[in-house]
């Protein structure tokens, strides 16, 4: 019997769904972070753990699965090749999580996807043509993401301690929590994107002047990205991800539309399309 596996993985965690030949979901699982731009081996372990949960009680063998994986870092050819060699699936397709999120959220409809969580990625679909932008990791991109917000806030705390920015209660609190400038630097040297992103709720939901400064700058950057993607034919915007609602509340320049499905739904659809079953 044919089984299809869909994986949606990012800097915070990954989700798996197993579907039968009719497209009916018969198993689901969850695992840890699956950002192959930062940790291919760790992502493989977490993907296999989520897959094992999804397979429980189904009788399916992972070596027979037709799988599509939408992962943070899925645009990096070297990383995808390394990951493919660590996984046992019969057929595998690895793409950026923005692609599977867009397929799930937009279906065949025209629109723009803004997927903003630990990382960020954007996609625009018109007439069935899907183009992804962004999603290049928090060191070189991931605009507006939780990781970039957290990094920006800590950087601002350092500048405030040096006297180059206004000190605020939140910045003073962070300096105390991390042990001053040296403590922040030690943290940053070994921190993963998800570690920085843990500061995001204090930014998007806070009224501290520093939090407002960081979030206002991020909102302006996301507005610019969406404006460019809108081009001359405006389409609805679908916001997804942990920070999606926070940006949606601020970016009302265009009509919004709820997502039709999830990144896992998109991955399953692509897996079935790969096998000619959809």
Q: Dump pLDDT digits (tens) for 66-118.
A: 999 999 888 888 999 999 999 999 999 999 888 898 889 998 899 999 999 98
Kindly write down the DSSP assignment for every residue of 153-176, as one continuous string. Answer: HHHHHHHHHTTSS---HHHHHHHH
19-39 confidence digits (pLDDT tens): 998 889 999 999 999 989 889
| Residue 45 pLDDT level (bands cut at 50, 70, 90) | very high
CATH number for the domain running over 110-258: 3.30.420.40
Would you say the CATH fold of 110-258 matches that of 4-104+261-274?
yes
pTM across the whole model: 0.78
Nearest C-alpha neighbor of 151 from the set 163, 139, 161:
139
Q: In this structure, which topology does domain 4-104+261-274 adopt according to CATH?
A: Nucleotidyltransferase; domain 5 (3.30.420)
CA 65, CA 210: separation in Å to the nearest integer? Answer: 49
156: Cα within 13 Å, side-chain hemisphere: 27
Domain boundaries, the chain: 4-104+261-274, 110-258
């Amino acid at each position: 019997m044919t089984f299809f596996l869909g994986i949606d993985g990012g800097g915070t965690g990954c989700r798996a769904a197993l579907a039968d030949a009719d497209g009916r979901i018969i198993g689901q699982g969850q695992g840890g972070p699956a950002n192959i731009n930062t940790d291919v081996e760790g992502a493989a372990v977490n993907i296999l753990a989520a897959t094992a949960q999804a397979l429980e009680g189904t009788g399916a063998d992972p070596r027979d699965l037709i799988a599509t994986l939408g992962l943070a870092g899925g645009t990096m050819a070297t990383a995808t090749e390394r990951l493919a060699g660590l996984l046992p699936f019969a057929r595998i397709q690895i793409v950026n999580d923005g692609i599977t999120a867009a397929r799930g959220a937009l279906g065949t409809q025209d629109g723009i996807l803004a997927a903003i969580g630990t990382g960020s990625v954007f996609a625009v679909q018109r007439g069935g043509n899907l183009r992804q932008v962004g999603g290049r990791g928090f060191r070189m991109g991931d605009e507006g993401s939780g990781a970039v917000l957290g990094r920006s806030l800590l950087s601002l705390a350092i500048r405030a301690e040096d006297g180059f920015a206004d000190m605020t209660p939140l910045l003073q609190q962070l300096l105390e929590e991390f042990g001053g400038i040296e403590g922040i630097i030690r943290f940053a040297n070994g921190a993963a994107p998800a570690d920085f992103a843990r500061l995001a709720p204090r930014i998007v939901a806070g009224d501290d002047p520093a939090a407002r400064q960081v979030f206002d700058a991020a909102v302006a950057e996301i507005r610019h990205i969406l404006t460019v993607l809108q081009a001359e034919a405006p389409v609805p915007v679908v916001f997804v991800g942990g920070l999606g609602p926070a940006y949606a509340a601020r970016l009302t320049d265009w009509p919004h539309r709820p997502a039709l499905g999830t990144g896992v739904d998109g991955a399953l659809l692509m897996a079935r399309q790969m096998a000619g079953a959809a």
